[in-house]
Each structure stands twice: as C-alpha cells, then as structure tokens.
Homo-oligomer: A and B are copies of this chain.
Amino acid sequence: MQEPERAASEDILSLENQVCFALAVAARNVVGLYRPFLEPPRLTHPQYLVMLALWEQSPRSVREIADALSLEPATLSPLLKRLEIIGYVQRERSARDERMLDITLTEAGYSLRSTALTIPPRVARSLDMSVPELESLREVLHRVIAASNS
C-alpha cells in the first residue's frame, strides 16, 4: 500500500488538480480576452466592471460600487480617479452626506454603453462554449462565491 498512498499524496498537491489554480488562470485569461476590445476606449478590465456597475445605476457612492463588485473602497479610490481623468465619470461630494462621493457617469461614460453591448457576445464566441454551458459555469461560480462568503 506504499505506492498508492504516495500517488494519492501527489494528486492532492498536483497543479493540474487544483481548482484554485484553474480559477486563477481562467480568470486571468478571460480578462485577457477583453483587452483588445477595451483598448480603444482606454479601459482596464476592473474599470470596465465599474462602468457596468454605473450603467446599472448612476450616481453611486464608492461604498456602493465596492459592494457591487466585491472590492475594497481602498482599491476603487485610485481607480475612480483614473476614470475621472479619462472622462467617463465625475466625482463630487454628496450634498446630503459630506463623507460620501457621488460617482456619476459623464455623457462620454454613458454613451460608451452602446459600444460596450457588442463586447460580451464577441468574448463569449471566442470561448468556444455554448450559451447553456456558459450559464451553468456562471451558476457554479456564483455558488463558489456564496460558499466562500459564509
């Protein structure tokens, strides 16, 4: 029983068996698929996600965007300043609560949306998977996220 045990111990730590490794590489690679589409509007992928959050609702506070994206406000703070410099959002203190920032889409930020509509289908096509498969993957990932938050 010596060899089967050593084999099992190799399985446990082998790179190809690690879900965490597959997740990390898949996430990096898929983000990379967006790069050619996000280069013209000069967006990084995290910045693109912020735009998605703002297209759903604008204005939003830093905390609200952070909750929507599962990011720390400290991560968003400099990112939002860059989005302001590019010209897609406006940052101004809320009138009601001076602690909060209202992050508001500019005209340029809002009009980017119609162009962005073509991006997800093109990325999906290059993934060589059917729509139901992608939906089931997304669903499993949401379960992973839920489990890792509890």
Contacts and interface: CB of A to CB of B under 8 A. Distances in A.
Contact of A20 (B31, B143, B144, B149): B31
The quantity of this chain's copies bound in the complex is 2
A53 interface: yes
Interface of A: 9-10, 12-34, 45, 49, 52-53, 55-56, 68-70, 113, 116-117, 120-121, 123-124, 126-129, 133-134, 137-138, 140-145, 147-150
11 contacts: A15-B68, A18-B52, A19-B134, A22-B142, A23-B141, A24-B31, A24-B49, A25-B69, A26-B144, A26-B145, A140-B140
A117 B21 contact: no
Identify the interface centre among A14, A52, A129, A133: most chain B CB within 10 Å of its CB. A52
Given A15-B53, A127-B148, A30 B26 contact: no
Contacts of A140: 133, 137, 140
Given A23-B23, A49-B21, A13 B141 contact: no
B27 A24 contact: yes
B26 A141 contact: yes
Contacts of A10: 56
